[in-house]
Structure 1
Amino acid sequence: MAFQKRRSEVLILEFSGVREKGRPIMGMQGRPASGPGPLMGAIASIAKLRDAGMLPWRAAIYADHYAAECVLVGGARRAARMATKHWKDKTIFGFIELKRGGFLWSSNNSVAIDAEFRERVTKVVKLIGSKDVAGSVGYATILYAAGKIDKWDLHAYKVLCELAKAAYHDKTGEPGLINVDKLTHKNHGIEAYVDGLYAQGSKYAPDEDARRLMTEIAEQVINLSYQMIVNPCGDKTILVSELS
């Protein structure tokens, strides 16, 4: 319904099929189930995002967090999330400080960088030398005003400085860095994903509405400069659509 922008309709959800609170989960050594309460709370929180005035990407991050926060199996968190933005994204600085305050804790956040980023930062660092050990962008701004670096050189250096500040001062160690141009790209046959049937099994399959959404995701991934990303643990490369 959200994808179709049917915001004025009433949606009734049935939770009676959710395992009741306290019931043992045999697959988790008999640990007690969380019950429908956390799921109901998550959906209520997501619904409030509709008129919160957030940019779409930030609202999506919050929605994902609310959904992941309630995924508890036997009292243990079982959700794994990865949030990534390219260093040239116009909202990158808002993304870098996303974990400030400690609320959005459920994802591993990283900035996607490439050879261009590394080259631009190296250029600025060589020009500044040891004058800017505190990570201030003051010297870089002077270089830009003098015409010795361009706007993307300055932007890349600012991104690096803000990354370091967030990781240290926010005490999160994040965002991390993903060298997306160095990942193993196993994207042969990616065009087949356009049918929208790349996430299904023998028991569950997407309906027509979901299939159209998945087709749109696949088409966007195909048009990306870098189509691979890493899983939340960072040990495997996967297609962006597989992570979605």
Structure 2
Amino acid sequence: MPLGAVHPITEEIRVDAARAGAMPLWEQALRVDHYLSVEVQVGGARRAARMATKSWRDTDVLCFIRAKEEGGLWTANHSVMVDAEFWDYVNDPAKTGPLADHARMVFAEATRCAWVNGEPGFINGDQLEDNRTGSARLKQVHADGRDFRSHRYQATEGAALLADLAQRATSAHFPVTTNPCGEITLHVTGGYCVIGDFAPLLACPVAPEEVMPGQVSAETADIWDARVRDSVRLGVRFLLRANRMDALYGEEVRRTNRIGIGPTGLHEWAWVRFGLDFNDLLDEDRAAPFWNAVRELSTIAKSEANAYAHETDTAQPVTVTTVKPAGTTSKLFGLTEGAHLPARRQYLRWVQFKGVRREDGTWEAGTDPLLPAYEHKGYPVRSLRSFPGMSIVGFPTVSRIQRLGMGERVVTAPEATPEQQYRWLELLEKYWIGAEQSNQVSYTLKIYTDRHDLDGFRAMVAANQPHVRCCAVLPSRPDSGLGYEYLPEEEVSAGKFAAITAMIQDDEVREVVDWAHLQCASGVCPI
């Protein structure tokens, strides 16, 4: 930590320390954690994501629900841990009593706050693997600090506090929570997200763009399917080998041997291999070949994990399957991210470069030479007000799913209803996550406030959230209504996109899109 950061942290903690007598321990911990996290920002963005959760039964949970709204505690993800009893009270007006009234008050306040800033969310703690099976209760309380110890680092002064934390967890209603993105179950005393992706589309032995969707030859299908199965087996082994590394939470790793492997680019694979679009996938009978393949891969992942754990004389993994957000890895290959639908069809990907134009039209000294070069080739270029001295270049981009001949059968996230997306999550939990040795699907479901009001938002959450382990529901507005000077990805209409690409003269840069080729792939070749 920079020395300059010590003083402001100390001052902030000192201010809150003066209020500590009236502040519950959970809030003290939340605030100190926040102050430490603020010091590891990059460009104003957090770089220390954490999950903060509290049980719906706690008498002061309403203070927690309002903490982000009132206290500026923006560096952690906040969620309320709930269960089937909570949803029974919320959805059945016939149930009465103090606890029923409390549950409805929690739901009303949580959804009111979430409607404003997306938090807190709801996590169905009773459905999380370690809580459902009771394995979280098997974690022992150690007084010697081994819960936080590696060969290089050991807990000394804090050993008693760690033991106290572990002891409190033994009687907690929810001894496990999730990581900030929601895809991994973790004991509340700490642990690791040891996670990996596999991309079934990329195992295709020929270029996917050359395959007639759903009409793969038997020979190609055999090779393709075998490669996907092998990638799952290898991925599981890689993750379990990572668990054998020395680590601060080594004791918990040895106890659980927890991993999470999951698919990404699901929609592209479903289309090319099986000829199924998103609407097809929601019909279990029509999409049976796809879902049977998903279930087979889930079985392979767990069987391989158990066999390799036995081979290496380590614990059988408590969890194996997951679907993580996969934002970075998916972008590398132009795939849809994890379980998510494509966010948009065609868009401008804006990239910042140093430099701005003078009033006379020339570029300032020190300008990145790429800026005038890109402008000369016809790319859209804009100077920024919110980032002085910087300009952005817009690169026309089309997701890979648009290149696979789906045409109008592509469904983007804004086009799918919330109910359809919840159904998609339920099916993924059923066929991929599975009933045993399973984590969760990480998914952000955007609810557009120009289509739903607060009452509609509440009704949607109450009806659907009880049936999935977790799902982040984020009220949002269309890109044009968000009020930012620019977004990293700006959706544009097909006509505007075609006009922009027509102005660009750059045959060597991959971001440039041959619009006529894309229209042909969609079955609407221009004359």
TM-score, scaled to structure 2: 0.33
Tell me if 1:197 matches 2:135: no
- For residue 55 of structure 1, report the CA deviation from its aligned partner: 2.8
Q: Distance in 2 between matches of 1:192 and 1:163?
A: 33
> Are 2:4 and 1:37 equivalent residues in the alignment?
yes
Residues 1:96 and 2:41 are matched in the alignment = no
> Is the Cα contact below 8 Å between 2:9 and 2:36 reproduced in 1?
yes
Runs ≥4 in structure 1, deviation > 3 angstroms? Answer: 72-77, 192-195
185-194 vs 94-103, which deviates more?
185-194
Letter in 2 for 1:92: V
Which of the residues 165, 169, 174 maps onto 2:119? 174
1:191 Cα deviation (Å)?
1.1
CA 1:74–1:172 in 2, change beyond 3 Å: closer, same or farther?
Answer: closer
TM-score of the pair, normalised by structure 1:
0.69
C-alpha offsets along residues 89-109 of structure 1, whole Å, 9 cap, x if unaligned?
A: 111111111111572111100
Whole-Å separation in 2 of the counterparts to 1:198 and 1:74: 34
Computing the radius of gyration from Cα coordinates, the structure with the larger value is 2
Write the distance in 1 (CA, Å) between the matches of 2:106 and 2:25: 21
Within 5 Å, which residues of 2 pair with 1:67-78? Answer: 67-72=36-41, 77-78=46-47
Distance, in Å, in 2 between the alignment partners of 1:211 and 1:106 is: 26
Query: Which amino acid in 2 is paired with 1:47?
Result: R
Deviates more, 1:95-104 or 1:229-238: 95-104
Which of these residues, 96, 101, 110, is aligned with residue 154 of structure 1?
Answer: 101
* CA RMSD, Structure 1 to Structure 2 (Å): 2.4
The percentage of aligned residue pairs carrying the same residue is 34
Residues 165, 73 of structure 1: CA spacing in aligned structure 2 closer, same or farther, 3 A cutoff?
A: closer
User: 1:24-75 CA distances to partner (integer Å, 9 max, x unpaired)?
Assistant: xxxxxxxxxxx32123311221122211243332222211111110124698
Question: Structure 1 pair 206/102, CA: closer, same or farther in 2 (3 Å)?
Answer: closer
> Which ranges of structure 2 fall in alignment gaps of 5 or more residues?
192-248, 250-527
What does 1:56-135 align with in structure 2 at a 5 Å threshold?
A: 56-72=25-41, 77-101=46-70, 103-124=72-93, 127=94
1:241 to 182, 189, 199: 189
Structure 1: which amino acid aligns with 2:32?
A
Q: Deviations along 1:109-147, whole A, 9 cap, x unmatched?
A: 0001011111111212xx5xxxxxxxxxxxxxxxxxxxx
Tell me the SS of whatever aligns to 1:202. coil
Cα deviation for residue 189 of structure 1 reads 4.5
Of 131, 135, 159 in structure 2, the residue corresponding to residue 211 of structure 1 is 159
Q: 1:71 to 1:222 in 2, by over 3 A?
A: same
Corresponding residue to 1:221 among 145, 169, 173: 169
Q: Shift of residue 223 of structure 1?
A: 1.9
Question: Which residue number corresponds to residue 403 of structure 2?
Answer: none
Q: Is contact 2:81–2:174 with CA below 8 Å preserved after alignment?
A: no
Amino acid at match of 2:13: I
Whole-angstrom distance in 1 between the partners of 2:106 and 2:141: 36
Count of matched residue pairs: 186
